[in-house]
Chains A and B, each alone.
Chain A
Amino acid sequence: MAEENKKIKLTIDNITVEVEPGTTIVEAARLLGSEFAPPTMCFYSKLEGSGGKCRTCLVEVAAGSAADPRPMPKLVASCRTQVMEGMVVKNITSERVLDARNGVVEFLLINHPLDCPICDQAGECYLQDLSYDHGEVGTRTEFVRRTFKREDIGPLIQLHMTRCILCYRCVMVADQLTDKRVHGIVDRGDKAAISTYISKAIDNDFSGNMIDVCPVGALTDKTFRFKNRVWFTKPVDAHRDCETPGCCGKATLWLRGEEVFRVTSRKDPWGEVQSFDGKPGWICNTCRFDKKKSSDWVVEGLTQISRHSVIGANKYKVLDVPKETIREVMDGRDPKLLMDIHAVSDVNNPAIDLSKLNRPAHSGDFEK
């Protein structure tokens, strides 16, 4: 165990922070708060070996360490780079980083279907947040997007590969939480896809956690699909005595009225499961899929959502309303098909200002 005086001091965006040796840059940055933490799509601190793949967390290391203050020539993946004494890290203060990050977000989006209006992940999707923070208004690609067939992998989970960003998190969950992994990555390059071994059903007690770790809407809960939008449901913390070994029994229930629409594990501000007694709080499939009555659970209270997202309050306070017409945005081209989804949705009711709400929005706000 590292002693107190053995802590490592480093600078991130000109702010000095002290951390234990062996910490990664992104974990050190998270101590400073969400404005300073590089975004992560594939890194999941509770999963061994995760990270390094999506490249959204690239940072510039202006000085490697006090002993060797040379800058690192390339941008480094902050989720896989350990801190060094005297390291100087530039995240949002580096033009190079922001430029590269914009590039990565663009790459992630060129083949993403952008079907947020019909995606169950909308509202708690990391790709949504990321493109809101770093993406461009228009797209520079005109090519047909890559699509895959939707696939049911087992009775409880649906795989929508078209939305996948290949973070490998669900593969790691299957590897590290369950006995036998029956799914993985097949093919390579831009044809790489998550798939099961010859359409084998995924069936084990902890497979549901794959849904929780998925940063986008590629893996969705079949018991929740199209049942509701997440921002209409009210999250509450609850627990029950679960007999499944390895299940922590602590979960978040997403309610509308008295009805439990879905059960997920409890998440920290970074979208990872919370730890209880130093152990990640994964939940079993019984808790997740079968206990859909309030009476199954002991409710503790409202869930605090500290994560910046559409389900957190005040996210869109400083929203810039675009002044250009669609034709201007698209370089004079006419849109081929414009679906005015929001016109038929209550969410677009201009009388309701979401930023005025000091809490997560729920259906009551729209029924006024």
Chain B
Amino acid sequence: MTKKLLLEKIDVPGIKTYDVYRREGGYRSVEKALTMKPEEIVEEVKKSGLRGRGGAGFPTGLKWSFIAKPEGIPRHLVVNADESEPGTFKDRYLMEFIPHYLIEGMIVSSFALGSNVSYIYIRGEYAWITDILDQAIAEAKQQGWLGKNILGSGFDCEIYTQRGAGAYICGEETALLESLEGNRGNPRIKPPFPAVKGVWQRPTVVNNVETIAAVVPIINDGGEAYSKIGIGKSTGTKLISACGNINKPGVYEIDMTISVEEFIYSEEYCGGIPHGKRLKACIPGGSSVPILPANLLLTTAKGEKRLMNYESLSDGGFATGSMMGSGGFIVLDEDQCVVRHTYTLARFYRHESCGQCSPCREGTGWMEKILKKIESGNGEMKDIDLLWDIQRKIEGNTICPLGDAAAWPVAAAIRHFRDEFEWHVNNPELCLQQNYGLAHYADDIQVPA
């Protein structure tokens, strides 16, 4: 059994309410943190090796130490709860069932960063969770964990929730800040980075919900203890939201030492693939990371077992690896069509592009049209090469990572499943009636040059 940190108490009846949460040891970290110096907390987080759980995996302590501290200008902490990546639903679970965990983490983090006004920017569709959080904030405030002079320490902190208006792009940190200010959610051009000029041109740290929640066990048990969980640079526990063709979809807390194979097939986690079907492919970290065929998913190109952590999942780069991403684990069995799947993702990214910069605005729409053409049996061989060329010209040339996120799934699908695309082109009638099937993906490891 994995040692659980974030979800340890999730099954306690009434944990949503302040009384039960407090009885179960909640808000201890605030009591401890307020006796420490802010720099010591940052140091502790650095020591823990905690990496951003939103997708990029940037070391949190390092990010915190970058925040500019000009005299007389307030700083802010903004929690990114705009969880909209297809396949990712871990933050929702945490906020819905144990909201005080996030509030507790936010108070500690706000103290460490010197933020007197902190925000939760929450996805607009999570309307009922906003109510849950507002309720939790009100309870915390009533009990003196928020407001003026918390526990007599002289530290003031307020937390506000802000609902988004239904845009995936507002999960990008600078677009989120624009939206929080009340503007159109267009990503800003960096530099300046949010750590220097963030919300209202003030130094700001934007962190994922899970990252901020993870600060609680780090302060309770110390960064040293947290860093001992996991392996290498993947310390601590990670929430994985598993979905797709598995017997037990849901949110799992793992320490990052278990193998992908164990995660998919063991009864403790996903419980295998339904109806005895075989594994075809998997997106291990949310829709924007490259898809991997079964053989490359379970073992790396070097033949080692692939583990559920940052390093192992990205082993081999994009040629034979993928990314940990946000932990949206999407499993595809042998009956799934990769072309259709890629088309669905391309449609999503086209719909969610903000339209600010030309490669993403025009390129995402173009890719979607070509994929639709291939999927509906009208494709030509040159379309596959064209698709490859388009994604190559989007990637890295856009303002924000949405362009990359749109390009990577298409690139990976062509890289690993080119024969399936070609089969669609060669069998325009057949591809409307049946799927390509498993083919050789599960058999031998093929390393593209």
Contact of A107 among B184, B359, B399 (CB under 8 A): B359
A102 vs B392: C-alpha distance when bound (angstroms) = 12
A80 touches B189 (CB 8 A): yes
CB of B397 within 8 Å of the partner chain: yes
Cβ–Cβ < 8 Å partners of A305 in chain B: none
Smallest CB–CB gap between B51 and chain A, Å? 20
Contact of B169 among A52, A80, A188 (CB under 8 A): A188
CB of A190 within 8 Å of the partner chain: yes
What is the interface residue range for chain A against chain B? 35 or more
A190 touches B189 (CB 8 A): no
Q: Which of B189, B353, B364, B369 has the most CB of A within 10 A?
A: B189
A80 vs B361: C-alpha distance when bound (angstroms) = 20
- Residue of B whose beta carbon sits closest to that of A112: B362
Contact of A53 among B357, B362, B365, B386 (CB under 8 A): B357
Of residues 366 to 402 in B, which have CB atoms within 8 Å of A's CB atoms?
366, 369, 386, 392-394, 396-399
B355 touches A188 (CB 8 A): yes
A111 vs B167: C-alpha distance when bound (angstroms) = 24
CB of B363 within 8 Å of the partner chain: yes
B358 touches A75 (CB 8 A): no
Smallest CB–CB gap between B147 and chain A, Å? 37
B355 touches A189 (CB 8 A): yes
Mark contacts of A112-149 with chain B using CB atoms, 8 A cut-off: 1 yes-contact digit, 0 otherwise: 00000000000000000000000000001101001000
Tally of chain B residues near chain A (CB < 8 A): 29
A165 touches B358 (CB 8 A): yes
Smallest CB–CB gap between A147 and chain B, Å? 14
CB of A287 within 8 Å of the partner chain: no
CB of B354 within 8 Å of the partner chain: yes
CB of B351 within 8 Å of the partner chain: yes
A190 vs B364: C-alpha distance when bound (angstroms) = 8
A55 vs B397: C-alpha distance when bound (angstroms) = 7
B354 touches A189 (CB 8 A): yes
CB of B356 within 8 Å of the partner chain: yes
A192 vs B356: C-alpha distance when bound (angstroms) = 8
Known: A55-B358, A58-B397. A189 touches B365 (CB 8 A): yes
Known: A54-B358, A77-B189, A108-B358. A189 touches B393 (CB 8 A): no
Known: A52-B357, A166-B355. A75 touches B397 (CB 8 A): yes
Cβ–Cβ < 8 Å partners of A188 in chain B: 167, 169, 352-355
B399 touches A104 (CB 8 A): no
Cβ–Cβ < 8 Å partners of B53 in chain A: none
A100 touches B393 (CB 8 A): yes
A158 vs B357: C-alpha distance when bound (angstroms) = 24
Q: Which of B351, B352, B354, B362 has the most CB of A within 10 A?
A: B362
CB of A258 within 8 Å of the partner chain: no
Known: A107-B363, A188-B169, A190-B365. A53 touches B399 (CB 8 A): yes
User: A-contacting residues of B (Cβ < 8 Å)?
Assistant: 167, 169, 184, 189, 350-359, 361-366, 369, 386, 392-394, 396-399
Can you report 5 A-B residue pairs in the complex whose CB atoms are below 8 A from each other? A52-B357, A99-B393, A104-B397, A106-B393, A107-B366
What 4 new A-B contacts, CB under 8 Å, besides A110-B362, A140-B386, A188-B352?
A54-B357, A104-B397, A190-B365, A192-B354
